Amino acid sequence: MRQQSMAASVVDLFHFEREAHRRGYQLVSGIDEVGRGPLAGPVVAAAVILPQNVELSGVRDSKDLTATQREVCCQDILSCTSAVGIGCVEPAEIDRINILQATFQAMIQAIKNLQHPPDFLLIDGPYTLPLAIPQKGIPQGDRRSLSIAAASIVAKVHRDRLMCEYHTLYPAYGFARNKGYGTAKHLEALRRHGPCPLHRLSFHGVI
């Protein structure tokens, strides 16, 4: 019974992809981002093209998974994906153009970094990207589309790894634990040490 329920969930999550395939599109990419809210580090987007009829039963919105589960799912995604692209926009650029525009920029970078150009985009959120590619924005898409959920996991794993690397450069801020989010200890470190080059100076609480 559990296997049947899980399979049904996967079929439901592939609704938007199947709809695009029925319309004749072949390379349907899900796009999602992570890191809009942190006080430090980049905003990261991922674009993922999954094969038709793929089975990824454990894949869902990255926020619903533990770090260990995300790592396992990420490996599963990368082992079966037709293409994956990553886009990163650094803190200085976030400060210059604002976080929403930086998010769009990261998404566009991720799409351009795909090994195969997509012919249809499924975007997390009610957004339209300035690209000459047919697309559909899906509110809460990371819970409604398997491709977007896969992109959310790939983006989250990539960003978490980056923040752990940055922790070795700036250990005072605890980036390995807080991933740049404004925890009490992170805010205390900011009060004691001030911001480092990875901090978003335009965000409340940084300066």
Instruction: Give per-residue pLDDT as tens, 9-61.
Output: 444 789 999 999 999 999 999 999 999 999 999 999 999 999 988 888 777 76
At 143 the pLDDT is 92
Which one, of 151, 149, 205, lies nearest residue 182 by Cα? 205
Tell whether the model's pLDDT for residue 63 goes beyond 90.
no
pLDDT (tens digit per residue) in 111-167:
999 999 999 999 999 999 999 999 999 999 999 999 999 999 999 999 999 999 999
At 65 the pLDDT is 86
CA torsion sign, 7 to 8 to 11 to 12? negative
Report residue 5's pLDDT band, with 50, 70 and 90 as the boundaries. Answer: very low
At 57 the pLDDT is 76
At 66 the pLDDT is 87
* 123 neighbors 31 (Cβ within 8 angstroms): yes
pLDDT (tens digit per residue) in 74-92:
999 999 998 999 999 999 9
- Model pTM score: 0.91
Q: CB within 8 A of 93, min separation 6: which ones? A: 102, 105
Tell whether the model's pLDDT for residue 178 goes beyond 70.
yes
* 113 neighbors 83 (Cβ within 8 angstroms): no
**Domains of the chain: residue spans and CATH:** 2-159 (3.30.420.10)
- In our burial notation (b when 16+ CB lie closer than 10 A, e otherwise), range 102-138 reads bbbbbbbbbbebbeeebebbbbbbebebeeeeebeeb
Report residue 62's pLDDT band, with 50, 70 and 90 as the boundaries. Answer: confident
At 56 the pLDDT is 83
At 60 the pLDDT is 73
Q: What single-letter DSSP state applies at residue 131? A: S
